[in-house]
Chains A and B, each alone.
Chain A
């Protein structure tokens, strides 16, 4: 800034000269008319004072001002940087495309003067939508001003990392359209696009680039991502149950997508992670031939006693674009709902009274199996036994601490409290027809597990032919015969060696050795015929031409059934119970607990009043969820006298999201009471399930064609509640709640982002070409685009400050006049 003194009198010079002449003329006239002033008035001091006063007045009248002059403002054109924040930017090895982009921006910024970028640089990220990266320009400026080395990404990366490349879609054309609304009063000097070029709307992008070019806004591009790769394998989603029973088969559905490796073989693995997320053991693996595009595989592993986090993993190919998308994790908890076993023992044997835990209990042929089962704290065993000579069943141990009752459950509701029934050498005549009907319905409808073991009172010899249970057991026994002295060999078949009931120890080799050493049992039912769709898990006479099935497993309705052709209690099974394995009955106990867990895998519904189901575990957008429910009253009888309401909850409660609706259409047939009128169901909005003629509650729920935000997958939780005695009001006025349950639903889309993992640099080049921009190859070129923009300099800024307008100047003037007046008064002139 420069300054100088200037005079800006209020009058022009001719006026001053004329005025001065007029004053002189008046003075002359007065002198001629009045004569000389009196003597005292001509004193030298007074004359000096008057002269000084006159000079001050003349100085003020001259209008002295200080003129400050500064250079005109430098106006740097705005630069807009569009940073691709879509999920395809996570691809890349060793650094992801995102890291590459952020590093390029930061490196470019570190070579620029802070003032260059100050407030004219605007960074936006795009993907599903366009959004500004707050304060990005300042972050870059700070980075540069601190003299950080090139490539330092700390400042900018900190800002950008808050979002990361998470958008599930790339709408570049839409981003360019929206960006033009952010330009302000004048167009920017440049727009720089930092992207891999993989965008949904390529044709529209080119049209927008042409439009930019016509407006004189060049679109320069900075392509990221390597083309020199073979392809990519990506895990898209993993669907695993959130909660499973102990020792059950856990099915893991894996969705993967491959590109560029069609026909190549690989392996999908399920790996258990330890508490610090490190791989611990391979739980399951499956060879897979990549087909290109999306494909799904199902793996299963055996749960143990604790919940665990699993990682599903596909080994990276040598030249794969990104190994980061080759693994996904899920957590599977253990459902430790108590399993209640009703063990009915008909075999005769010595009975005795024993004391356990301070309580007297009756022990007999049932004692060992009961003890084996209850070694597992999640199994409770109620024993019914036939006392010698009594001919009836009596309960000899009961539920937990509750006192027991005599005999078989007297109501269907009481039977439904059990998950598993073991029929050991007990005759059909020990049950009434009604009880047998209850058992059959319990297996079919409530998912109970039933096993019949061998003995003189089992199968045909026990009068079970023609009973309802003959229908549901996995073997036909019309021509069977009990051979009490026959050797009941138990040889697990090769096909069944991997079945969950034969998993005695976790080590595969050791387990095989244990299975090869199953001791024989005395007595065998000959002539049992496995029914279709059953599994033979063990045979007798494995080396014979026609081995006899010994252990057969099947399913009936919701439940599971099993038949064992040999007895399980001593003395017939003495060796099996006591000599299998080096440590007493350890192996036999594990085998029986495995049997119970397998039989009850479908029976978690046992004591619940509302059971809900969906027709599939995962859906595609646009498909329909067939939601159904069954309600039971207090007598365990199916009922439709309740009203069943449902509501949908998102897996992720992000209420900042602009989508407040589920990706589910409101069912057309249903009246809506919530006041909402949109086409989709609002999160938390309740809707009723209509009753059907066959005693169920059913409702088809149509999924939207597109997930919110174009996401690749989305989880829903559907909560269902049964009410009694209520109308159709809202909230708790619906009536009295009877039970509630929930279903997890997974929706898997095939998002554009994952369909082609390669970058599309051709599109970026075309964009630069048609808009007049450049293809930038390095951070230096990126910096140059910003630095080399023509700068506009505005006119100089001039300001004037009156110099006469000072207090001291006016003080001098008033002081001179005052002294002159006082002086004149002192000499008698005033």
Chain B
């Protein structure tokens, strides 16, 4: 009887070991801010982004500092930064660099998404992403407000417009694991260029685990042919989860759930790299 109990225990123990990860998460000691940030910057610097149709053109400009820093303990992301590339007028790409614990080992997750209406070609030291479709498709914003004068007032208007949106994410369709996403109140990035007819623009994060933005809401105000202000919005995913975005409680954008694998997608992808920085 004792042998059978011992055998059952060993079998179940093995099963538990298979079902769960083997190694513990490293926490605070992993988040040694400065060293991680320096390594993250190097990884961002090593990313070259160009327009697909003009590979000989200059690459886009990386904003000096990461625009957002976050962690996501449920996903074992102990520290992460978000970087922005611009074409001098508006952002064309965002990339996450995440200090991750993968199967118990320190790793980097690189997650890139195009925000460009053009097709991009992205090169990392060991791989390339050639976008098959634009990363951002803008749609007219219904019932837009009259554009206010002044940068501060416009910024408030962008926030107010963003709060008309809500979103949810499907983490696991088999088990119906769905979660409401949180709109980060402050834009992750704001931009404007009057000469280019871009009167105001902002990228808002839609987060599902506290502060980790899985998708992005872009709201722009441009000057149309008649000189009037035209409000537009678009959504960009940076997750394999299925995202649904609603505007005034009406669904306006969806992306299907994808099996989480590091494969190039049409305008975004993620992959892992070994992490030597403790």
Interface residues of A (CB under 8 A from B): 335-338, 340, 351, 353, 356-362, 377-378, 380, 387-390, 394-407, 409-414, 416-417, 606-609, 633-637, 649-650, 653, 655, 682-685, 719, 721, 724-726, 731-732, 735-742
Residues of the A chain whose Cβ atoms lie less than 8 Å from the Cβ of B172? 400-401
* A731–B13 CA distance with the chains assembled, in angstroms: 54
A396-B211 contact, Cβ under 8 Å, with A405-B25, A736-B69: no
B171 at the interface (CB under 8 A from A): yes
Return the chain B residue nearest A684 by Cβ: B152
Return the chain A residue nearest B188 by Cβ: A737
* A340–B179 CA distance with the chains assembled, in angstroms: 11
B263 at the interface (CB under 8 A from A): no
* A658–B182 CA distance with the chains assembled, in angstroms: 34
The reply to whether A390 and B70 contact each other, CB–CB distance below 8 Å, is no
Return the chain A residue nearest B171 by Cβ: A400
Given A337-B180, A359-B174, A400-B74, 13 new contacts (CB under 8 A): A387-B9, A387-B12, A398-B20, A400-B175, A413-B71, A634-B71, A634-B78, A682-B152, A684-B153, A685-B152, A736-B68, A737-B69, A738-B69
B189 at the interface (CB under 8 A from A): yes
Least CB distance from B151 to A in Å reads 8
The reply to whether B12 and A362 contact each other, CB–CB distance below 8 Å, is yes
Interface string of B7-29 (1 = CB under 8 A from A): 01100110111011111111110
B144 at the interface (CB under 8 A from A): no
The reply to whether B178 and A377 contact each other, CB–CB distance below 8 Å, is yes
A357-B5 contact, Cβ under 8 Å, with A607-B209, A736-B69: no
Most chain B beta carbons < 10 A, residue from A336, A358, A655, A738: A655
The reply to whether B186 and A737 contact each other, CB–CB distance below 8 Å, is yes
The reply to whether A634 and B156 contact each other, CB–CB distance below 8 Å, is no
* A378–B176 CA distance with the chains assembled, in angstroms: 10
- B167-194 residues at the A interface, CB under 8 angstroms: 168, 171-172, 174-180, 182, 184-186, 188-190
A653-B145 contact, Cβ under 8 Å, with A405-B25, A634-B79, A684-B153: yes
The reply to whether B186 and A635 contact each other, CB–CB distance below 8 Å, is no
Task: Show 26 residue pairs from A and B whose CB-CB distance is below 8 angstroms, ordered by the A residue.
Answer: A338-B180, A357-B174, A362-B15, A362-B19, A380-B177, A400-B177, A402-B74, A403-B21, A405-B21, A406-B16, A406-B21, A406-B22, A410-B27, A411-B25, A412-B27, A608-B211, A609-B71, A634-B79, A635-B28, A653-B160, A719-B159, A719-B186, A721-B186, A738-B70, A739-B70, A742-B185
Residues of the B chain whose Cβ atoms lie less than 8 Å from the Cβ of A389? 5-6, 9
Residues of the B chain whose Cβ atoms lie less than 8 Å from the Cβ of A394? 13, 16, 20
B134 at the interface (CB under 8 A from A): no
Q: Contact check: which of B23, B148, B180, B209 meets A655 at CB < 8 Å?
A: B148
Return the chain A residue nearest B211 by Cβ: A739
Interface string of B75-88 (1 = CB under 8 A from A): 11011010000000
The reply to whether A417 and B260 contact each other, CB–CB distance below 8 Å, is no
Most chain B beta carbons < 10 A, residue from A361, A607, A633: A607
Q: Contact check: which of B5, B24, B149 meets A407 at CB < 8 Å?
A: B24
**Lowest 9 CB-CB distances: which A-B pairs, in order?**
A411-B27, A607-B210, A684-B152, A404-B20, A740-B186, A635-B28, A336-B180, A634-B71, A417-B73
Secondary structure call for the A interface = loop
The reply to whether A416 and B73 contact each other, CB–CB distance below 8 Å, is yes
A740-B185 contact, Cβ under 8 Å, with A357-B175, A411-B28: yes
B273 at the interface (CB under 8 A from A): no
The reply to whether B24 and A406 contact each other, CB–CB distance below 8 Å, is yes
The reply to whether A413 and B27 contact each other, CB–CB distance below 8 Å, is yes
B157 at the interface (CB under 8 A from A): yes
Q: Contact check: which of A357, A360, A739 meets B184 at CB < 8 Å?
A: A739
The reply to whether A401 and B9 contact each other, CB–CB distance below 8 Å, is no
The reply to whether B65 and A725 contact each other, CB–CB distance below 8 Å, is yes
The reply to whether B66 and A405 contact each other, CB–CB distance below 8 Å, is no
Interface residues of B (CB under 8 A from A): 5-6, 8-9, 12-13, 15-17, 19-28, 31, 33, 37, 65-76, 78-79, 81, 103, 145, 148-149, 152-153, 155-157, 159-160, 168, 171-172, 174-180, 182, 184-186, 188-190, 208-211, 260
Return the chain A residue nearest B101 by Cβ: A405
* A243–B5 CA distance with the chains assembled, in angstroms: 51
Residues of the B chain whose Cβ atoms lie less than 8 Å from the Cβ of A397? 19
Residues of the B chain whose Cβ atoms lie less than 8 Å from the Cβ of A340? 74
A388-B27 contact, Cβ under 8 Å, with A414-B73, A719-B185, A736-B81: no
Return the chain B residue nearest A401 by Cβ: B172
Most chain B beta carbons < 10 A, residue from A407, A409, A609, A732: A732
Residues of the B chain whose Cβ atoms lie less than 8 Å from the Cβ of A406? 16-17, 20-22, 24
Least CB distance from B107 to A in Å reads 13
Residues of the B chain whose Cβ atoms lie less than 8 Å from the Cβ of A361? 19
Least CB distance from A121 to B in Å reads 32
Least CB distance from A354 to B in Å reads 11
A413-B78 contact, Cβ under 8 Å, with A357-B174, A394-B16, A406-B21: yes
Most chain A beta carbons < 10 A, residue from B27, B78, B153: B27
Most chain A beta carbons < 10 A, residue from B5, B16, B67: B16
Residues of the B chain whose Cβ atoms lie less than 8 Å from the Cβ of A395? 16, 20
Residues of the B chain whose Cβ atoms lie less than 8 Å from the Cβ of A359? 174
The reply to whether A737 and B67 contact each other, CB–CB distance below 8 Å, is yes
A635-B31 contact, Cβ under 8 Å, with A401-B171, A405-B20, A737-B188: yes
Residues of the B chain whose Cβ atoms lie less than 8 Å from the Cβ of A732? 65, 67, 189-190
Q: Contact check: which of B9, B73, B103 meets A413 at CB < 8 Å?
A: B73
* A134–B6 CA distance with the chains assembled, in angstroms: 93
* A637–B28 CA distance with the chains assembled, in angstroms: 9
* A607–B27 CA distance with the chains assembled, in angstroms: 15
Least CB distance from B159 to A in Å reads 7
The reply to whether A410 and B24 contact each other, CB–CB distance below 8 Å, is yes
Residues of the B chain whose Cβ atoms lie less than 8 Å from the Cβ of A380? 177
The reply to whether B23 and A405 contact each other, CB–CB distance below 8 Å, is yes
A388-B19 contact, Cβ under 8 Å, with A402-B74, A411-B27: no
Least CB distance from A57 to B in Å reads 68
* A416–B159 CA distance with the chains assembled, in angstroms: 29
The reply to whether A335 and B180 contact each other, CB–CB distance below 8 Å, is yes
* A224–B207 CA distance with the chains assembled, in angstroms: 56
* A338–B26 CA distance with the chains assembled, in angstroms: 24
* A726–B209 CA distance with the chains assembled, in angstroms: 25
Least CB distance from A513 to B in Å reads 32
Residues of the B chain whose Cβ atoms lie less than 8 Å from the Cβ of A683? 152-153, 156
